[in-house]
Structure 1
């Protein structure tokens, strides 16, 4: 396998706009679907437990199975697209995800649902990084690339709150199974349209970095599993310590392998650019901060305010709207302000939003305590993640676009897992690890966790100041 791309992989500057717009809509819709499925079942977990007979401890794996497998296979999925053809791997991933979604909606046992979620995640890990890479090679002009990546990032990031809204709608109006079935027509349409809209690269003889794939997949899986278990069992739990130790050893081995192999799974040169490396760090930190919003606020809305799944989902609508607004503003402001200041602004909005959430109490209402923080967090997510996507994907070499996209999404997944484990630990210390939490103690623990998330966001601000002041990522 050579690192040289075929003609179909090269920028298609002459492709008409009317051909590129459907490509963007299709790829953005796909990524939105993949991200939504990370949270769409959160608000439906009580209904799923009743329907399928999940135990209290096993119920979390309806969500965790998807997060774990998705996160640990992203690097492999991204590099596989670089080697075997991005369109081919993308379509295969969408097809697997679609079939698994149908199976998930039809299951009649707890074990079958977890297995279907695992297969969903395998397909998502193949489709996600290559959707991002296909945008990079389709939109070649700086302005077009900026707005397309901004839209892709903002809509994809908005999948988390949108997933809660969709999950609430289907759970209350139809069934949690409908949230799985809706993926089927969307996935089929994407799988059928992709060969018609996206040019196919010439097939090359490829050799995958198997040692790197094994150590990366095993290392990331062990780390995410350890962090998820730490969130449930604590940091002193034996299997937690063992999983984290194994994960660190495997990741170290992976980095050593990548520095020596000729066709690495993750080319270390993607970190050579200072701004790109900083954008990866900021992505990781912001994912750590934002996971607390969905986890703790869902509990606040349902347990403290007493809202049902439908209303809880719609409570996150201001956050989604903030993302839509900033998706349009980012492309316009990036040439004027540059990546540095847009990331500083975005991280600062997230930090301020988290500080506002530390003031929640049992007497807080939605309008008085949550609306403004929701808007701030949504706008902050949009500015930060959209700008990070541009900083990372606009300057990467075309042959490494899939790998760079895989690293980006891995940073988001692992950052979310790290943040969840750390903030749940902080929450546990703040509440004295009490088994029964009165509303006052529950809210006090959340306030401390939100303060921890604000610290993560502040670290992101500091990292953003390390970016060179350039008018855009491409100049």
Structure 2
């Protein structure tokens, strides 16, 4: 008796990017990488800049804060403007402003001129980052290709922070801190020249801009970042910091109320309350806030306990850079197999365990250095997995005309997290150091708090997304 043979259904091949999509991706990722480098490239050069331009020690922080404030405060507004005015146009405007600000910074002859240049760079980041990210998400269909692109994006953003620290040390030691500014100019010009012929213009439906919403959300975010930064510098009982944070809370509450009733809201409440948008951005805020603090605390550990120079410190972080690259490459495959919710929560869990392990580092020695390198690399792998998980989660299930808003929210989460984490954890470390007289004790306490927060964030994100 013959047995019928039933052919198995053919397995669908994995989708591949077209050559044009690869070209678009290369250009957009290159611009994102450069913007990430800008956030960290000046950190190791701050003392040299202070001496060259006459900054006091207490005012050095404003070289970093002047860029972070507008980057965090205006990202959501400019992300929505990209939907309305055109994403490519906003990207090109951001790159032009970045080139101008970088040139001004490199030629600065006074503290005021340098601060103005850093503000221009922050505005450039707020213009270009959500525009580039929304161009990326609208250029690729939702699914494996977009997840792969977002994985590369997260990898390059994290690598940019690491490369910035290393590159900043090299440029400062070999040439001058001014080259940390000048290096941006030719790269930004290359993007401006290439983008019009490579990237098609993209925009959402035309609506009126929600001016009251724009004013309240931008003002609220600016006040929040400024207040937290001041509290980290002067203590959480500082009257100016408390007043500013209170104003921020009132403005953000007003923004929410405005969005509930606006005819053409800047950020529709129905989008912001979507389970994937809400919990995806929550996970992103936790991972960016706490991992930026870990890098800061480890910088303090290497320089104060091991006596490393800024350049040695930057080179030590190469392991973190490699682990970040591997995490970004692995995350899309993990998402395809286990789902973005599980990857986001597991990445946060790994980050929490690795950070908690750093509590065991001691007062120098090869063993402490080896433990620090292993734990920080594991944490970086988890961090990148979380970044890709939150980006995929927070931008999924939305139409193209809301991608600027979704990527603006995701970019804002990144900017606010990077800005707020260091002041909060550094204040905890400083309080412990003052109480015990031990730098290591302060670092240990801050790392422990960091690990507990990330662990709680992992559980909350997993539970929240499970309700979807």
Aligned to 1:396: 398
Change (3 A) 1:107 1:299: same
Residue in structure 2 matched with residue 450 of structure 1 by the alignment = 447
Q: Tell me the residue number matched to 1:289.
A: 290
Partner of 1:372: 374
Contact 1:98 1:184 in 2 (8 A): yes
Are 2:463 and 1:462 aligned? no
TM (norm. structure 2) is 0.92
Query: How many residues were matched structurally?
Result: 453
Partner of 2:329: 328
Aligned to 1:350: 351
Contact 2:358 2:371 in 1 (8 A): yes
For 1:4, the equivalent position in structure 2 comes to none
Q: Deviations over 1:241-261 (max 9, x none)?
A: 110011110011111111111
Residue number in structure 1 paired with 2:433: 431
- Per the TM alignment, residue 141 of structure 1 is displaced from its structure 2 partner at its CA by 5.1
8 Å Cα contact 1:343/1:383 also seen in 2:
yes
TM-score with structure 1 setting the length: 0.91
Partner of residue 5, structure 1: none
Deviates more, 1:261-270 or 1:330-339: 261-270
Q: Deviations over 1:228-272 (max 9, x none)?
A: 000000011111011001111001111111111122222222233
Q: Deviations over 1:71-99 (max 9, x none)?
A: 00101110110110111111111110111
Distance verdict in 2 for CA 1:140–1:204, change over 3 Å: closer
CA distance in 2, matches of 1:205, 1:273: 23
Equivalent in the alignment of 2:279: 278
Distance 1:200 1:246 in 2: 38
CA–CA distance in 2 between the matches of 1:30 and 1:61?
Answer: 24
Distance 1:204 1:287, change over 3 A: closer
1:19 aligns with 2:20: yes
Q: For residue 68 of structure 2, what is the aligned residue in structure 1?
A: 67
Give the conservation status (yes or no) of the 8 Å contact 1:104–1:113: yes
- The aligned residue for residue 181 of structure 1 is 182
The separation in 1 between residues aligned to 2:309 and 2:145, in whole angstroms, is 42
The CA distance in 1 between the partners of 2:294 and 2:45, in whole Å, is 18
CA distance in 1, matches of 2:345, 2:202: 38
C-alpha spacing 1:391/1:34, structure 2 compared with 1 (3 Å) = same
Distance, in Å, in 2 between the alignment partners of 1:202 and 1:288 is 31
Listed one character per residue, the Cα deviations across residues 107-161 of structure 1 (whole Å, up to 9, x for unaligned) are: 1111111110001111110000011100111011522111011111221133222
- Shift, 1:205, TM fit: 6.0
Please say if residues 275 and 391 of structure 1, whose CA atoms lie closer than 8 Å, have aligned partners that are also in contact.
yes
Alignment of 1:154-173 (within 5 A): 154-173=155-174
Q: Indicate how the Cα distance of structure 1 residues 380 and 202 shifts in structure 2: closer, same or farther if over 3 A, else same.
A: closer
Pairing 1:307-326 to 2, within 5 Å after superposition: 307-326=308-327
Residue 36 in structure 1 maps to residue 37 in structure 2 = yes
SS at match of 2:40: coil
Q: Counterparts of 2:318 and 2:203 in 1: how far apart (Å)? A: 43
Partner of 1:88: 89
How far does the alpha carbon of each residue in 1:425-460 deviate from its partner, in whole angstroms, 9 at most, with x for none?
A: 2213212268xx6xxx01110010000110121022
Larger Rg: 2
Q: 2-side partners of 1:236 and 1:16: how far apart?
A: 54
SS at match of 1:448: helix
d(CA) in 2 for partners of 1:461 and 1:364? 33
**In 2, Cα distance between equivalents of 1:226 and 1:208:** 28
The structure-2 alpha-carbon separation of the partners of 1:202 and 1:330, relative to structure 1 and needing over 3 Å to count, comes to closer
Partner residue in 1 for 2:216: 215
Q: What is the alpha-carbon distance in structure 1 between the residues aligned to residue 293 and residue 142 of structure 2? A: 37
Q: Aligned-pair distance for 1:15? A: 11
Distance 1:184 1:261 in 2: 40
Per-residue deviation, residues 348-397 of structure 1 (Å, max 9, x unmatched): 22112211211222224464232102211210111000111111113222
Answer with 89-98 or 303-312: which moved more: 303-312
Equivalent position of 2:192 in the other structure = 191
Q: Give me the whole-angstrom Cα distance separating, in 2, the residues matched to 1:393 and 1:262.
A: 23
Does the CA contact (< 8 Å) of 1:348 and 1:458 recur in 2? yes
Query: Using a 3 Å threshold, how does the CA distance of structure 1 residues 89 and 15 change in structure 2: closer, same or farther?
Result: farther
Unaligned runs of 5+ in 1: 1-13
